[in-house]
Every structure is written in C-alpha cells, then in structure tokens.
Amino acid sequence: MFDKIDEILEKYKEIENKLSDPDIVKDQKKYREIMQEHSHLKEIAEASGKYKKIVQQIGEAKKIAAEEKNAELKEMAREEARELEIEKEEYLVYLKQLLIPKDPLDQKNIIMEIRAGTGGDEAALFAADLYRMYSKFAETRKWKIEVLSVHEIGLGGFKEIIFSISGKNVYENMRYESGVHRVQRVPETESGGRVHTSAVTVAVLPEAEETDIDISPEELKIDVYRSSGPGGQSVNTTDSAVRITHLPTGLVVTCQDEKSQIKNKAKALRVLRARLYELEEEKKQKERSEARKTQVGTGDRSERIRTYNFPQNRLTDHRINLTLYKLEIIMEGDLTETLEALKYNAREKVLQKS
C-alpha cells in the first residue's frame, strides 16, 4: 500500500508542475480534469503526511516511556502512545478508502426520473414530495436543477417528473437513490385516519455528453403533436410536443413542457442520451461482475430501498439497515447523513474485497 502511496506522491508533484504550464491553463477542459485529479491526490498526500507524523509521534512517545525514570511521566507517555495508536489505525482505514479507484462516472451530472407507483394520487403526491426533498438538498450543495419533463395531477402531485442536476460530484452522491421508495402515512384525502402504503420509483442516470453516446439521425423516429395538461385538455395551439423513438432499442422519450418544439426536442434528446448511456454502463457492469457485487444494492429500479414512515417520523434504508427518527428534517432536504452512510458502506465493501 505504501509503495502505491509513494507513486501517488510522485504523480502529485508532477501535476502540481503541470498546473503552472500556460498551455494547460489555456485548455479549460484539460485544466478542469487536472484540477479534479489534483484535488483527489492532494487528499491522499495530506492524509499520508498526517499518518507518517503520527507514526513518528508514537516512536517518540514509546522512547520516552522506555527511558523516563519518573513513573508519572512514564505512564503519561504510554497513554499518549496508546491514543496515537488508535488515531493511526483510523488514518490507515481512511487512507485505504482514499486509495479506492474513483469511478469515472462520479463527476457526472445526472438525470433523475421520479414516477408514482402503487397508491394512486397518494403516490403522485409523494413523488412531488421527493422532488421537493431532492431540490432542497441540491440547494444546500449549490447544485443546479432543471426540469426536463413533468406530468402533473390536479392535486399538486406528479405522475412523473424528469429533471437534471448539475454540479460538483453529483452522481457520486446521488447514485444510490435508484429504486423503490415506500411511504407510509395518512393521505390528505383519507377521512378515516388510516395509514396507507404507497410507492414511488426513482432512477438516477449519469448524464451523457454528446461525445459519450453517438446517436445517428437515422436511428430516430421523431413525432410532434399538441401538448396536453391534466385531464387531457390542450394547453398549446401548436405542435410543440415531441416524442422521440430510438429504433434500435425501442426507447421512447416525450417532452411537452416548453412552448418551443426545438427546446422540447433538445430536452428529449438529453433524456434519451442518458438512458442509452445507462444501458451501455449496465453492459460494462455485467462484464465487471465482481465489481458489481460490491455496490450498495443492485441499482435495480424494482428493488425496495427505503421506507418513509411519517407516523413514526422514521426513515429506514433497507440496504444498510440504517434507521433515523428525523424524517421531518430529511424531507426538508437534510440527506447528508443518509447519503454518507451509503457511500461509506460501498467503500467498506470494496475494502473487504481487496
């Protein structure tokens, strides 16, 4: 492990030199890539430095304990060495986690799809609640959200909403949200006060750049029609809504939110590109089956991953047996503890395999 760290420290020095190269600074894309790598290597360099300093301090404390004649000072040195040994082990685990290869998708922006499942209007209302929760969390991270497509119901719920989130390390933080989210609560429409169980499915797709996925115009069937609102009434007098069918896969994407046909087409293509990119990634994951086993859950959208129990103010993530009794706060966007626990669990599984 320490041979690998020495190699990384050498690379860190090389990258620091590159950052002062005017040609690199001119190429903004290349500069961003190097800065991201520099940031990660800097973490390893600083943690490695701290680890070496602790090892040195342990040696000094043990030397004092061995040579000191005063019994009280001798015991103090021994106690210091014991405390430093604990800190050393913590840093060793931290270093191992930092050495886990970064998933190249972690830096990607994402497209999220939230769909109401079983539970009728209550499921649609909870889909809207989840969108609000993710929006508030995105605000705390200074991420940008853009709605790409939405199918509303009259009560303020969403039968489906598709949106993008862009910013720093979005996919790394949100990747484990894919799956079935179950809600248990008394619906607003329930007069008898009975708790109902509903479900919403969430999909998290890394957003593909145009260079990631090559889509030939011949592979697309594009239909245009008039957009409609709740109940099917026409909300537009022009054929601005767009339906794109990807003929090789049969994937269909529709978008009707914009009044402009061109804007709707552009948004639909973004969603289609993300779905095709996900299919490609799934193929790669199957080829790397051992790596797939280390993931939290399977990423399968049919897997029940979480329960939101409102009467008990409880959130339970079934994949990592995490239960938190602060659902009200979580629904206001306080997702950090849950997401960090999922990421930590994933890293631990990788370490166990290594």
User: Residue 252: what residue type?
Assistant: V
Q: Are strands 179-185 and 304-309 parallel, antiparallel or unpaired?
A: parallel
Of residues 95 and 141, more confidence is placed in 141
pTM over 0.85: no
40-56 pLDDT tens trace = 788 888 888 899 999 99
Alpha carbons 129 and 117: distance in angstroms, whole number:
14
CB 107 within 8 A of CB 169: yes
5-36 pLDDT tens trace = 888 888 888 888 887 777 777 777 777 778 87
Partnered with residue 323 across adjacent β-strands are: 316
Cα three-residue angle 245-239-121, rounded to 5 degrees: 70
pLDDT, mean of residues 319-342: 96
Per-residue confidence band for 302, with pLDDT thresholds at 50, 70 and 90: low
CA 108 to chain CA centroid, Å, is: 9
Strands (E) across 117-178 are located at 144-152, 158-166
Domain map (residue ranges) of the chain: 2-98, 107-208+297-353, 217-285
Alpha carbons 62 and 147: distance in angstroms, whole number:
61
CATH class (in words) of the domain with range 107-208+297-353: alpha beta
133's tokens: 């929760």
6, 23, 54, 56, 80 from 59: Cα distances, Å: 21, 46, 9, 5, 11
Q: What is the CATH number of domain 217-285?
A: 3.30.160.20
Alpha carbons 130 and 182: distance in angstroms, whole number:
11
* Three-class DSSP category at 147: strand
pLDDT value at position 230? 53
DSSP for 68-86, please give it.
---HHHHHHHHHHHHHHHH
Alpha carbons 17 and 12: distance in angstroms, whole number:
9
Q: Please determine, for residue 325, whether its predicted confidence score (pLDDT) is greater than 80.
A: yes
Backbone phi and psi for residue 89, each to the nearest 5 degrees, phi listed first: -65, -40
Alpha carbons 315 and 80: distance in angstroms, whole number:
40
125, 174, 255, 329 from 332: Cα distances, Å: 15, 16, 28, 5
Q: Shortest CA distance to 177 belongs to which of 108, 131, 116? A: 131
CB 144 within 8 A of CB 165: yes
pLDDT, mean of residues 166-188: 92
Q: Please determine, for residue 294, whether its predicted confidence score (pLDDT) is greater than 50.
A: no
Average pLDDT of every residue of the chain: 85
CB 215 within 8 A of CB 238: no
Question: Any residues with CB less than 8 A from the CB of 261 and at least 6 apart, and which?
Answer: 224, 238, 239, 240, 241, 242
Q: Please count the other Cβ atoms lying within 10 Å of the Cβ belonging to residue 28.
A: 9
Q: Please count the other Cβ atoms lying within 10 Å of the Cβ belonging to residue 198.
A: 23
pLDDT value at position 296? 46
Q: Please determine, for residue 317, whether its predicted confidence score (pLDDT) is greater than 60.
A: yes
